Structure 1
Amino acid sequence: MPQKTLSDLSQAMRQIDIAMLSTHAENGAIAGRPMSNNGEVEYTGTSYYFTFEDAHTVGEIEADPQVGLAFQGQKSFQVAVEGRASIIRDKAAMKDHWTPDLEKWFKEGLDTPGVVMIRVDAERVHYWDGEDSGEVKLK
C-alpha cells in the first residue's frame, strides 16, 4: 500500500476533536491530559494548544520537552506523534493560533491572566488506518 502523506493525515485529523498530550511528570511517570484539537487547522507537523501558566503541564514540559500526542479518529484511524514541546508566552505569537471557541476556557480571550500556548514540533508521526499503517517522514 502507498504511504500516507502528512497532507493525507491532516485531512483525517480534522475530524478529531481531542488529542491526548503526554508529558513526563516530576516523579518520572507519564502524565496524559486531553487537549482541544482545532479541526480548522492544517496539520503540518506542528501543533498548538492553550493552557494556563500554572498547569502541571507547563512545568513538566519545561523540565523535559519530549512529549507524545495521541489522536483517535473513527473507523480505527489513529495517529501517534513524538515531539518536542515549548511554552510560548508572547501574545502576538498566540494570536495567530487563537480561535473564538477557546473563550469557553479562557473567558477574557488572550487577555485571560496566565494564558500560555504549548507548541509541539513533531519528530515522528505514526498512523494506523484499519490494516494500513506507517510513519510519515518529516525531514
Structure 2
Amino acid sequence: MADKTLADLSKQMGEIDIAMLSTHTAGGEIAGRPMSNNGEVDYDGTSYYFTYEDAHTVGEIEADPKVSLAFMGARGFLVAVEGKARLSRDRAEMKEHWSPDLDQWFKDGIDTPDIVMIQVDATRVHYWDGGDEGEVKL
C-alpha cells in the first residue's frame, strides 16, 4: 500500500480536467455527471463546482448531501472521493472559487442568472496510482 499525502494527490489531480460527481436520485439510483475540475486550485479535501439552479444535481443534493467524486488521470492514476455537498448561491463566495475557464459554460460569469456553487467536503479519499493504492485520512 502506498503512502501518499493529500498534497501529493493534489499535484496529480491538477492535471485532470473533468471529475465525475455522483448523487442519489429520488428513486434511490446513483446519477453521475461530469464537472469541470479546476486544476489551478490546490486540492485540500474541498472541491467547488458550478451548475444551474434547475439541474437535477441541485435537488438531489438538497435531498441527500452524500456524494462521490471520481477522478481519472494518466497512467492508471485514479481518485475516489466520498463527501458531503453543500450548495451556495452567495455571489461573493462564488467569486472566491471562480476560474475564467468557467466562462465557457456560464456566459455572464458569476453574474449568470440561476447559478449555484456546489462545495464538496471530502470525508474519505482513496487512490490508485499504477500498482499502488491507499487512503488519505482527513
What is the TM-score when the length of structure 1 is the normalising length?
0.98
Residue equivalent to 1:112: 112
Provide the C-alpha distance between the structure 1 equivalents of 2:110 and 2:73, rounded to a whole number of angstroms: 29
Counterpart position of 1:50: 50
The whole-number CA distance in structure 2 between the counterparts of 1:136 and 1:42 is 15
> 1:131 maps to which residue?
131
Task: Give the distance between the partners of 2:108 and 2:124, measured in 1 at CA.
Answer: 35
Give the 3-state SS of the residue equivalent to 1:35 in structure 2: strand
Quick one: which amino acid aligns to residue 113 of structure 2?
P
What value does the CA root-mean-square deviation take over the aligned residues? 0.7
Aligned to 2:15, the other structure's residue is in SS state: coil
Deviations 1:90-131 (A, max 9, x none): 000000001111111100111110001000000000000011
1:85 aligns with 85
User: Which residue does the alignment assign to 2:35?
Assistant: 35
Q: Please give the alpha-carbon distance, in whole angstroms, between the structure 2 residues aligned to 1:130 and 1:47.
A: 24
Amino acid at match of 2:32: G
Decide whether the 8 Å contact of 2:2 with 2:132 is kept in 1. no
Aligned length in residues: 138
Gaps of 5+ in 2: none
Counterpart AA for 1:130: G
- Mapped partners of 1:61, 1:16: distance in 2: 24
| Structure 1: stretches of 5+ with no match in the other structure | none
Q: Counterparts of 1:33 and 1:104 in 2: how far apart (Å)?
A: 17
**Structure 2 Cα separation of the partners of residues 3 and 101 of structure 1:** 33
Alignment match, 1:4 = 4
SS at match of 1:41: coil
Q: How far apart, CA to CA, are the structure 2 residues paired with 1:119 and 1:91?
A: 14
2:2, 2:134 within 8 Å by CA — same for their partners in 1? no
Question: Following the alignment from structure 2 to structure 1, what is the Cα–Cα distance between the partners of residues 100 and 11?
Answer: 22
Report runs of 4+ in structure 1 exceeding 6 Å deviation: none
- Identity within the alignment, %: 72
Give the TM-score taking structure 2 as reference length: 0.98
